[in-house]
A and B are shown apart, each in its own frame.
Chain A
Amino acid sequence: MKKVITQGLVGLTIFLSSWVLLNQIDWIDLLEIDKATAKTEIKIGELYWDVFKSNEVENKDAFVNKTIDSLVVKICSRNKIDREHIKVHILNKEEVNAFALPNGHLIIYSGLILASDNPEELSGIIGHELAHIELNHVMRKLINEIGLSVLISMTTGNGSTEIISQTAKLLSSSAFDRDLEKEADLKAVDYLINSKIDTEPFANFLYKLYTKENELQEALSWVSTHPILKERATYILEYSASKKTTIPEMILAPQSWKELQEKLN
């Protein structure tokens, strides 16, 4: 019996130590798994963007795009986010909504810009969506909801347009789970602080949507897809207060903000 136990323990030790040793090698890098994943994400991002591009009207106004871009650039440059990776698209739609697609596509509806009272509020939402992109929430959500096999079949051209359209709705009109939303909110606060943007308007915006929620539930998709607004506004304020902040800077001249709103109205 003693021999069996000894040999069993030796076998187990060989197995576990081999596992630990093999774990020391960076297989993801060696087998270029990340590169393959990145290629899949690029393809999926294009597929989804094509759905929105063909169904919605993209705002091509140079001033509108330049102004929104200036906010995105500010957040990206102060947070070491690769600006080249972020592809901002403004769509003319009344819905108060913004969302991220795979491969850094950031969709902002004109309704959201119009619902914001100042550029800081809008920056908070942009920061939140950038956080979803940077934290890889988008691909994680897709894999979670529809599975890697379906995603891969989509990139190889075997996915039906029906699946792509259905899952596109999933990205634009359903929330991430609570933990991911909170993670993105807090990351957005970090982004705003690093960019010297006041964080309070971000919380205010959520609180404002919360109070309007009952009146305008139909029109405010960002509200229905991002629940527990009051709770979120509270923890954003608490988290901001716990952080050492510098005096916020003006991010957009009032005249430019006014002009932006007028152009979209």
Chain B
Amino acid sequence: MSFSYGPGDHESEKASNSYLMSLIALIAGLPLPIINLLATGIFYLVNRKSSYFVRWHCTQALLSQFSMLPLNSVAFWWTLSIVFGSEGITNNYVAYIILVLLFNSTEFVATIYTAIQTRKGIHIEWFFYGSITNLICKTKK
């Protein structure tokens, strides 16, 4: 996927870091699903006045974290209600947890891949998130 201009090395590094932030926070913040969103959000705010390439990738990383938040939160509270509450383990629950794990793993792999590629200055647009990012993130005139 081509970008409107070739990013410089410092831009590629920052853009790549926006994905790495979510990964590091994901590992540090487990099992709380909010930590990675917060970390990516802070990184986005810090870099919101950076160059277009950096902003674009910070936004894509943030959006992906936003969509994972409700999925992971449901999994988190559902699990708590089973462990501490009156809910029992059902097929529905197991199916949901497997699905959430699959989505998280896919997102994890995609994040690592994108972090590597953006570090090389290669622009990666994700399915759905890339399209929203294109709508939100505009070049400064």
Q: Which residues of A contact B (CB under 8 A)?
A: 1, 3-4, 7-8, 10-11, 15, 18-19, 22-23, 25-28, 31, 33, 37, 140, 143-144, 147-149
Contacts and interface: CB of A to CB of B under 8 A. Distances in A.
Contact of B86 (A8, A31, A37, A143): A143
Contacts of B95: 19, 22-23, 25, 27
22 contacts: A4-B131, A7-B127, A7-B131, A15-B99, A18-B102, A22-B95, A22-B99, A23-B92, A23-B95, A25-B91, A26-B91, A27-B95, A27-B98, A28-B94, A140-B88, A143-B85, A143-B88, A144-B85, A144-B86, A147-B83, A148-B83, A148-B85
Contacts of B85: 143-144, 147-148
Given A1-B135, A3-B131, A27-B91, A15 B86 contact: no
B89 A28 contact: yes
Nearest to B130: A7
B91 A28 contact: yes
Nearest to B133: A4
Given A28-B89, A144-B85, 6 more contacts: A1-B135, A15-B99, A22-B94, A33-B94, A140-B88, A148-B83
A8 to B, nearest CB: 6
A21 B84 CA distance: 28
B94 A27 contact: yes
Contacts of B103: 15
Contacts of A33: 89, 94
A19 B131 contact: no
Interface string B60-98: 000000000000000000000011111011111011101
A147 B98 CA distance: 24
Contacts of A23: 91-92, 95
Contacts of A8: 128
Interface string B100-138: 001100000000000000000000000110011001000
Top 4 closest A-B pairs, CB basis? A22-B95, A27-B94, A144-B86, A7-B128
A226 B94 CA distance: 36
A11 B84 contact: no
Nearest to A27: B94
> Which one of A25, A31, A148 has the greatest number of beta carbons of chain B within 10 Å?
A148
Contact of A148 (B82, B98, B102): B82
Contact of A4 (B88, B90, B102, B135): B135
Contacts of B84: 147-149
B75 to A, nearest CB: 12
Nearest to A30: B94
B100 to A, nearest CB: 10
Contacts of A144: 85-86
Contacts of B132: 4
A141 to B, nearest CB: 9
Contacts of B102: 18
B96 A11 contact: no
A18 B97 CA distance: 12
A144 B81 CA distance: 10
Contacts of B90: 28
Contacts of A27: 91, 94-95, 98
B94 A11 contact: no
Nearest to A21: B95
Contact of A11 (B88, B89, B91, B127): B127
A79 B94 CA distance: 33
Nearest to B96: A19
